[in-house]
Structure 1
C-alpha cells in the first residue's frame, strides 16, 4: 500500500516537472510573431494608394487590392504586400490587375519603399511615362510593368538597377529605341519587351548581358538583320522575335547556342535557305517557329535530327514549286504541334503519312493538296485540325472518332451536300469553320446543332437556306454571311445569352431588326447585317454599349441615326451606307475616341457638316465617306486640323479581338466599298489598315476647299467631286505626297491647277473636269499620263494632254506671277494650320487624360440637347 502511494507521488512529481519544463520552453523559445510593418512603410503605401483613382463604376473594386487595405492594421498583412521578417521593410508590392488609374509621378511615395525587391504593377491604366526616378528602387530584382498604358521613351535610369534579374515592360506604347544603359544590367536573366512599339535594329546592348536566359521582343517594330555574334548569349534558352520586320538570314551563331531550347521567329522577313545543321544540341530543341517568313529552297533534311522537337512551324515556306520529302517529319516522334500550311509544293500529300506522329495534337496543312483515304489512322489525341484550301471534295469521315477534337477548320474546299449529323456529337468541339464550301443544309432536325458544345461557328459563303438552324445557347461567335437565308431574322438568336459576334451579311433577310436584340445591350461587340432587305427604324435600345464594329449598310432602314451610339466608346467601324436614313450630320460621333471608319454614303443626310467657329475633330479616323447625300454649307479653313491619324505615319492596326487556343481568329469580315481612281472597289480585311480616304462627293458643299486638307499627308484617296466648291484649288494639296487618287470634277473651281500637283509621284489618277479652271496644265509625268477627259470642260485650260496650246509670253508671265502670289499666301496659311495641328496633337495627349472625367458630363449634356 505504501509502495503504491510512493509511486503515485513520484508520478505527480514527474508530471509537475514536465509541465514546468514545457512552460519554460514556451517562455524561452516563444513562437515566431509576424513583424509589424514600419510606420514609414505603411505611410508610403497609404499615400501611394491615394495617388490614383479607381477605373470602375460598379463598386466591384472595394475588396480588391489596394482598396481592401485598412489603415489601422499591420500593412505586412495587406493583400499584395510582403515584408522582410527581420526589418519589417516592404520587399514585395504586387498590385497586378488592380483597378488603378492615373500617372505614376516622379515624386511618387512608391519610391520611398527603397528596400523593395519585387514590384508588379501589371494590367493597370497608369498611363503617362515611366519616371526616371524609378532608379530610387535600387534593390529591385523583379520589375513588371506589363500593360500599364505607359508611353514615351523607356527611361535610361533603368540601367542603374544593378540587381535587376527580371524586367517586363510588355504591352505598352513606348517610342524610340531601347536605351544603351540597359547594357549595364549584368544580372538580368529575363527580358520581356513584347508589343511595346520599340523600333530600330536589334538592341546590341543585349549582347553584353551574358546571364540572359529569356528574351521576348515579339510584335514590336524591330527591323534589320540580327547581329552575327549572337553566341555571346551563352545561357539563352528562350528567344522570341516573332511579328517584327527582321530580314536577312538567321545567323549560325544563334542556332549554335548550346542552351537554346525555344526559338520563335515567325512573321518576319527572313529569307534565303536555312541550314538547320548548325544547331548545337539537336536533342535539347523543343520549339522552332519559322513560319510566315520568306524562306526559300528545299526543306532542310537535317530537321529530322531534332528528335526532341515538340512545336514546329514552317508555314509559307517557298519551295519554289518543287517536291517536298515529307518523310523528314516522321522522325519527329515528340511533335505535338505541326504547321506546314501554304507551302507551294507540287506534292499531293496522303494525310495518312502523319499517322506515325502519335503525340500530335495540333496539325495545320492548309493550302496543301491532300489525299484522305478511308483507312486513315491519324492520332486520336488530335485537338486542333486545320485543312483549309486542301482541295478536299468530301467531308472527312475519320473526324467522327476524334473525340478530343475541339477546333476544326475545313474552310475553302469543295465540299457539298449536307453537314453530317455526327459532327455535333463530338464531346468537346468548340470551334467549327466550314465556310467557303458548297454546303446546302444540315443532316437531321432543325435543332441538330442546339445540343452541341460549339461556341464559335462560321458557315459563311455556302448555299444554306431555310430552315435556319437552332444554335446552342453557349454560342459566342456566329458568322452566316453570303448564304441564301430569307424571311425575318429568327428570334431564337436572342436566346444566345453570351453572343459576342453576329454576322448575317449578304443574305435575303427582310422585316425589321428583332426587338429582342435589346438583350445584347451589354454583350454584342460585332454586329454585321449589311446587304439584306431589312427595313424600319433602328431603335435606340438595340444598340449595344460594347459595340466595336457595326455594319448595317445596304438595307432599307430609315429614320434617324440612334443617338445611343454615343455610349459606344469602343466603336471603331461604322457603316450605314445605302439606306434611307434621314438625319443631320452626327457631330456627337466625335466623342467616340476610337472611331476609325465612318461610312454614311448614299442616304438622306442633310444640313451642314461643320459648326460655325468649331472645327471637327476625328483623331483616329482613317476612312471618312459621306458621299451621295444632301449635305450643305461651307467648310472652315481649319476643318481637317484635328484629324491626327491622316496627318501622321502612325498605322492603326485592326485590333478587333478574337483569340482562341493561341490562334488569332477573325470572326468578323469588315468590308466597305469606296470610289478610287474613278472606279468602285471593295476594301476587305487587312486592307483597312492601309487606306486613309476622304470622300465627300455628291453633296451640295460650297465655298473654298479647306486649306487644312494639306495637313493630311497620309491621305491616299481624296474625292470632293460633284459639289459646289469655288475659288482656287489650294496649293497645299501638293503636301499630300502619298495621294494616289484625286477627284475635284464637277465643281465651280477657278484659277490655275497648282504646279505643286505635278510633283506628286504617287498620284496615278486625277480628274479636274467640269470646272472653270484656266492656264497651262502643270508639267509632270503623272499629269501628262492622264487622259484628256480628266481636264475636259475647262474652256480656258491649255497644254498637254489637251490639244489646246497655251497663249503668249505675257499671259504666261501674268499667270506665273499670280501663282507665285497664291503660293506665298497659301504657305503662310498652311504654316498657321500646321502650328494649330501641332498644338492639337499635343493637346490630344492631355485631352485624352482628362476625357475620362469630362466625357460622361459632356455626353449627358449633349444627349439632353439632342432630345430637347
Structure 2
C-alpha cells in the first residue's frame, strides 16, 4: 500500500483496513495521514511486529484497533509516544503476556480491551485512577487478582467491567457506583454476592456463572435485565421480591442448591423471556401460572423436585403463548398429556421469528459505539450426547420431558410442532403407538422415545425425515419391520434393542420367511394413515404468524444436558 504525498495533508479522518492481507509494511504510509481520528488495522496477518511508536505522528487519533496483530513489547512501555488524546485502544488477540503500561500515560482513555491474550498476574491499581475510563474488557486471560485496594475501583468511572474466564479468586470486588454491566463468570470467586450490589441502581447485567459463590440470591434483581448466577453454590430460595414493572428478561439460577418454590412474584416480570432453574432442589408443582407472561420463550425446570400433572386442569392446550423450549426432565411429573396438549404452541409454524436471546450493552462516546452482547444459554440433550450451555440464538424448538413418571398416549397433536428439532420423551411410562403425526416434523433432528411401554410398529413416515440424525426407540414393546430408509438404517443397533418384536436393519433379525408377505406387517401403518392426514389438516388450519418456532445455534460452554449437541464442540463462553 502506498500513500501519495498529496495525501499527507489529507482531511481523511476514518480508515478501516482490518482483516486484510496486505503485502509489505502498511503502517508507515498510514502514519502520514495526520488527520486520522479512527484507525482500524485489526487482524492484518503481518509478518512483523507492529511498533506503536509509529503512530506518534497521528496527534488527532482517538480510536485505534490493533487486535489480532503481533505488537512490539518495547512499544507498550509507559514512555511510548502514543497520541495523548487516545480514548479507545483495542489489543485483543495480540498474544500479550503483560498488562500494557502504556495505558498509564493515557489520561483521556475511555475504553480498554485486552481480552483473549495471555496476561497473568494482578490488575494494576493505577488502572482505576484513569479519570474517564468507562469500559474495561480483560476476559480470557490469566489474571488472578487485584493489585492494592479495590476501593479505588468503587470510586472509578467504569461502567462496563468484563472479567470473565480468568483465574480470579477470593471475594468479589465492590463494584463502581456507575456500573452498568459486570461479567465475572468462569473464575474462582468465593464468598457471598456482596449486599452493596443492591445499591448499584444502574446495573443491567450481572453475570457470575461458573464460580464458587455461596449464600442467598440477592433480593434486588427485579430491575437487572440480565441475571446469570448459574453453576455456583447458592442456597435458600429464589427471592419473592420481583416488583410490578420489573425489567428482568433473563434469569438463570441453574446448578445451585436452591430450595422452596418458584416465587409467584415472577408474574410481575412481564418482560421475562428466559427462565432457567434447572439442577436445584426446588419442590413445586408445574407453574401453569407462568403462561400469563406474554414474552416467556424458554423454560427449564429439569433436575429438581417438581411433581404432579403437566396437563392443565381443563385438559386443553398447555397455553404458553410464546414458548419455544420446554425442558422439564428428571423430575416427578405424573399423569398423561391431553390430546390437545401441543396445540397453539409457538413451534407450530415452520416460518419462525428469530429469537436472538441476547442482551446488548452499548458504550456510547464521541468516538464511536462499542457493543458487547450477553447471551442466553441452556442445557440440552441432543443426539444422545451430553453437552453444556448451548446459546439460544436463532429459532427452532426443543422439548425434553424425559425421566419423569408420565403415562398414557403420546398425543397426535405433537405433529403440529413444525419447528421442532429435538424431542425427548424417554424414560417415562408412555403407552400406545408412536404417533404417526411425527412424520410431519420435517425439521426434526433428534428423537428419543426409549424406555417407555410403547407398542405397535415404528411409523413408516419417519424414514422421510431427512434431517433426523439421532433416533432411539429402544426398550419398548415395538414389533414389525424397522422402516428401511437411510436416516433409520444408519442408526446404531442400540437404538432399537429391547424390542423383541422388531426386525430388519440395522438389527440382525430378518423379518420375513418365504411364506410371509411384507405388506401384512405394515397393515397397522395403513390403518393409521387417516389419522396422520387428520393432523396434517389441523396443522394447515393454523395461519402463518399465529405460531412461530425457534432455533438453537450452539456455541458451547458448559452445562449438563443430554440432547442438543450439534454444531460446535465444547469451548469457553465468549463475549464478542
Q: Report the counterpart of residue 813 of structure 1 in structure 2.
A: 519
Match of 2:231 among 528, 531, 535: 531
Distance 1:467 1:726, change over 3 A: closer
Q: For 1:707 and 1:353, locate their aligned partners in 2 and report how far apart those are by CA, in whole Å.
A: 70
**Structure 1, residues 748-779: CA drift from partner, whole Å, max 9, x if none?**
11111112111222111111101111111111
Distance 1:796 1:481, change over 3 A: same
Q: For 2:539 and 2:274, locate their aligned partners in 1 and report how far apart those are by CA, in whole Å.
A: 28
Q: Report the counterpart of residue 317 of structure 2 in structure 1.
A: 615
Distance 1:698 1:474, change over 3 A: same
Match of 1:548 among 245, 249, 269: 249
User: How far does residue 806 in structure 1 lie from its aligned partner after superposition?
Assistant: 0.4
Q: Report the counterpart of residue 752 of structure 1 in structure 2.
A: 457
User: How far does residue 338 in structure 1 lie from its aligned partner after superposition?
Assistant: 2.3
- 1:622, 1:646 within 8 Å by CA — same for their partners in 2? no
Q: Report the counterpart of residue 421 of structure 1 in structure 2.
A: 125
**Structure 1, residues 414-467: CA drift from partner, whole Å, max 9, x if none?**
111111111111111111111211111111124121121111111122222224
Q: For 1:839 and 1:708, locate their aligned partners in 2 and report how far apart those are by CA, in whole Å.
A: 18
Q: Report the counterpart of residue 42 of structure 2 in structure 1.
A: 341
1:584 equivalent to 2:289? Answer no
Q: Report the counterpart of residue 403 of structure 1 in structure 2.
A: 107
**Superposition RMSD in Å:** 2.5
1:728 equivalent to 2:433? Answer yes
Distance 1:746 1:509, change over 3 A: same
- 2:171, 2:191 within 8 Å by CA — same for their partners in 1? no
**Structure 1, residues 157-216: CA drift from partner, whole Å, max 9, x if none?**
xxxxxxxxxxxxxxxxxxxxxxxxxxxxxxxxxxxxxxxxxxxxxxxxxxxxxxxxxxxx
1:241-320 equivalences under 5 Å are 307-317=10-20, 319=21
User: How far does residue 506 in structure 1 lie from its aligned partner after superposition?
Assistant: 1.4
Relative contact order (C-alpha < 8 Å, sep 6+): which is higher?
2
Q: For 2:250 and 2:147, locate their aligned partners in 1 and report how far apart those are by CA, in whole Å.
A: 33
Distance 1:684 1:409, change over 3 A: farther
Q: For 1:663 and 1:597, locate their aligned partners in 2 and report how far apart those are by CA, in whole Å.
A: 30
Q: Which has the larger radius of gyration?
A: 1
Aligned residues: 536
Distance 1:683 1:534, change over 3 A: closer
Q: For 2:35 and 2:545, locate their aligned partners in 1 and report how far apart those are by CA, in whole Å.
A: 57
Q: For 1:764 and 1:668, locate their aligned partners in 2 and report how far apart those are by CA, in whole Å.
A: 30
Q: Report the counterpart of residue 139 of structure 2 in structure 1.
A: 435
Match of 1:653 among 340, 351, 356: 356
Q: Secondary structure at the residue paired with 1:581?
A: coil
User: How far does residue 649 in structure 1 lie from its aligned partner after superposition?
Assistant: 2.8
Q: Which runs of 5+ in 2 are unaligned?
A: 549-576
Question: Which TM-score applies when normalising by structure 1?
Answer: 0.59
1:484 equivalent to 2:184? Answer no
Q: For 2:81 and 2:290, locate their aligned partners in 1 and report how far apart those are by CA, in whole Å.
A: 57
Q: Report the counterpart of residue 172 of structure 2 in structure 1.
A: 468
Q: Report the counterpart of residue 530 of structure 2 in structure 1.
A: 824
User: How far does residue 346 in structure 1 lie from its aligned partner after superposition?
Assistant: 4.7
Q: For 1:346 and 1:571, locate their aligned partners in 2 and report how far apart those are by CA, in whole Å.
A: 49
**Structure 1, residues 476-524: CA drift from partner, whole Å, max 9, x if none?**
211121222212222222222222221222111112224xx33x54x31
**Structure 1, residues 671-690: CA drift from partner, whole Å, max 9, x if none?**
322111111112444x5325
Q: For 1:795 and 1:663, locate their aligned partners in 2 and report how far apart those are by CA, in whole Å.
A: 64
User: How far does residue 693 in structure 1 lie from its aligned partner after superposition?
Assistant: 1.4
Q: Which runs of 5+ in 1 are unaligned?
A: 1-299, 844-868
Q: For 1:644 and 1:694, locate their aligned partners in 2 and report how far apart those are by CA, in whole Å.
A: 12
- 2:349, 2:544 within 8 Å by CA — same for their partners in 1? no
Q: For 2:250 and 2:25, locate their aligned partners in 1 and report how far apart those are by CA, in whole Å.
A: 42
Q: Secondary structure at the residue paired with 2:372?
A: coil
Q: For 2:166 and 2:6, locate their aligned partners in 1 and report how far apart those are by CA, in whole Å.
A: 44
- 2:327, 2:400 within 8 Å by CA — same for their partners in 1? yes
1:18-417 equivalences under 5 Å are 307-317=10-20, 319=21, 325-372=26-73, 373=75, 374=77, 375-417=79-121
Question: Which TM-score applies when normalising by structure 2?
Answer: 0.87
